[in-house]
Chains A and B, each alone.
Chain A
Amino acid sequence: MKFAFSVAMRFLLSSKAQTLLIILGISIGVSVQLFIGLLIQGLQIDLVDSTIGNSSQVTIISTRDDRTIMDWQELIQRLEESALMTDITVVSPVLESPVFIVSTETSPSVIYRGLDFDRADAIYGIKDRVLQGSLPGRNEVLIGKELSEELELLIGQTITVLSSEGRTHQLVISGIFDLRVAGLNRSWVLGTLETAQTIAEKEGRISAIEMQVLEVFDADIIAASLAGAIEVDGIRVDNWKDQNQQLLSGLQGQSISSLMIQVFVIIAVALGISSILVITVVQKSRQIGILKAMGVTDRTASLVFLFEGALIGIGGAIVGVLLGLGLSIAFTTFALGPDGEPVVGLYLNYGFIALSGLIAFGASVIAAVIPARRSARLTPVEVIRNG
């Protein structure tokens, strides 16, 4: 073993240019594979984050005729005491009530969302997204940026809303928010749960419990076990995956094509290493023949080339991972969107990086098998007779 290793090492060092060329070849392959992998992963994380990062991922909604949940405090308490809380990060009650803002010319229809702001902030980040003013108190309302611009509404003004029950309510604008989605800024107005319950005339009730989870892609599993655990009539548990099938199949398609590219890059690298090492065996056949005449076994002769494969594999993996990381960092540093943020975020998945390195190493060793077998089969007489 040691002998084969030291011969392999010497063979590689004695033709430095050739060795560096192979290592460079592997490195470029590994770096491309790693870069594509990290890029697609980052892209998907960004996409998922912008799609569902600031929304409810698992939602308990009512299936009753009046679309409300009774005894919701008890339900939340039971939820928060259950083992499910290891997967759930936020639990936030909401009461939605459609209203018309009748004090303006166009009387637009909006949804008055009554929230527990301390809880809801973890989902929507409302506190950071209040542009002016403050969070609403009783009989107050927070309106969106676009809505305030279109209706020319200012902080401190009073608006009159007409509820679906046919009653009007006076609300004071306490602030203006920007959730960075124009549609929500136009159609949502936010207030406290109590105000919403007054407007909707649903005292002590809510319409949904919104939740976020630790592993967003497990939302469907969590939703299912949640539905099994709470066993309350008149409710249903939704999750974002059921509601975003198209996004999911898009992501899956992207993952598969990314994987295909990575696999073919690695195959190309392995074929490259293998063909170069086969040439090396031919180049070194004289040395192998003479070593065998001296008493080197067939096994040791093949080990020499397996070690060569392993050594250049390690070299290629290390340089390749560094190159790939450099490429990814360069991409997120220089490829910026109009807002100055990277087009795709950099997410260093250490497991994936380590796996890339390991695959490069493994591919190099496997690629060395054919040359190693040739080396084992070579007989000293072939070399000596042919000079």
Chain B
Amino acid sequence: MANIVELKNVNKFYGTTVKTQVLFNIDLSFEVASFNSIIGQSGSGKSTLLNILGTLDRPTDGQVLIDGRETGSMKNIDLAALRNRTIGFIFQFHYLLPEFTALENVLMPFRVSNSAVTKEAFERAEELMEIVGISHVKNNLATRMSGGQQQRTAIARALINNPRVVLADEPTGNLDSDTSEKVFRMLREINERFGTTFVIVTHDRRIAEETDRIVEIVDGRIRMDLAR
């Protein structure tokens, strides 16, 4: 099957005077519609890896291919358009816009690239909110929802533009184990239903073990790559 994201010999250094290498010669690709996890200790470089996969950060050297397109030579404005159409993000701390309601947050990525919210987009937002179970709080401001509701809003938002790939950084990181389990099952369901590729960064081995492929990062290197 084709690869939706691909890293070729990626290195990443931080700092200008004192250089610290965070990633070493990473070669990694994910297939379309696969359900993957990246695990590692904090500071292992897994979040940096995810940011590079999502074009939020650029590698010091090496190539990043999204849907077959090389991103190194693309301008910020083209990367922004690529992210908007192809990639959905779910961050550990929800990162909803507190000035907007749950529904407005979900529709935000659509509005970024379209002048007006279409009926289809609106219906899709309603459907996604139904799937993640937040229809009853859709008009609440982001600040007036529980942690679980906020995280589920963020999931619905990541899916509104029907992205090819969803990158999730500790999506259940600060949820209790019950909610965490529910959210994880939901991601799985969406993967099966829409064929969306998932790359989930976690430090929780129990969660990782339920994915189809586990990539373990230790000190900026791939230590283990296990497909089931």
Contacts and interface: CB of A to CB of B under 8 A. Distances in A.
Central interface residue in B77, B98, B99, by most chain A CB within 10 Å: B99
B56 A293 contact: yes
Given A295-B80, A295-B83, A385-B47, A11 B99 contact: yes
A385 B14 CA distance: 13
A387 B92 CA distance: 9
Contacts of B82: 295
Contacts of B21: none
Given A2-B115, A381-B51, A384-B56, A292 B80 contact: yes
A373 to B, nearest CB: 14
A144 B112 CA distance: 81
A380 B80 CA distance: 11
B contact residues, range: 20 to 34
A340 B98 CA distance: 58
Contact of B99 (A10, A297, A299): A10
A291 interface: yes
A294 B51 contact: no
A379 B95 CA distance: 15
B112 A298 contact: no
B57 interface: yes
Interface string A269-302: 0000000000000000011011111111111100
A10 B98 CA distance: 10
B76 A294 contact: no
A295 B112 contact: yes
A297 B98 CA distance: 20
Nearest to A300: B112
Contact of B77 (A3, A290, A299): A299
Interface in B110-139: 111-113, 115
B81 A295 contact: yes
A294 B77 contact: no
A297 B95 contact: no
Interface string B194-225: 00000000000000000000000000000000
Contact of B91 (A2, A296, A384): A384
A10 B100 contact: yes
A13 B96 CA distance: 17
Interface in B86-114: 89, 91, 93, 95-100, 108-109, 111-113
A77 interface: no
Given A298-B76, A298-B77, A287 B97 contact: yes
B179 interface: no
B186 to A, nearest CB: 20
B56 A291 contact: no
A381 B56 CA distance: 6
Contacts of B57: 379, 381
A291 B85 CA distance: 14
A294 B89 contact: yes
A243 interface: no
A3 B112 contact: yes
A86 interface: no
A30 to B, nearest CB: 28
Contacts of B157: 294
Given A294-B83, A295-B84, A14 B76 contact: no
A199 to B, nearest CB: 87
Interface in A26-45: none
B40 interface: no
B98 A14 contact: yes
Contacts of B111: 3, 6
Interface in A5-62: 6, 10-11, 13-14
B56 A380 contact: yes
A387 B91 CA distance: 10
B77 A297 contact: yes
A13 B104 CA distance: 15
Contacts of A295: 80-85, 109, 112-113
A387 B173 CA distance: 13
A296 B80 contact: yes
Contact of B97 (A3, A291, A300, A380): A291
Nearest to B110: A294
Contacts of B59: none
Given A11-B99, A287-B97, A290-B97, A297 B51 contact: no
Interface of A: 2-3, 6, 10-11, 13-14, 286-287, 289-300, 379-381, 384-385, 387
Given A294-B108, A297-B81, 13 more contacts: A13-B99, A293-B54, A294-B89, A294-B157, A295-B80, A295-B112, A296-B80, A296-B112, A298-B76, A379-B57, A381-B51, A384-B91, A385-B51
18 contacts: A10-B99, A13-B99, A287-B97, A290-B95, A290-B96, A291-B112, A293-B54, A294-B84, A294-B89, A294-B112, A295-B80, A295-B81, A295-B83, A297-B76, A298-B77, A381-B51, A384-B56, A385-B51
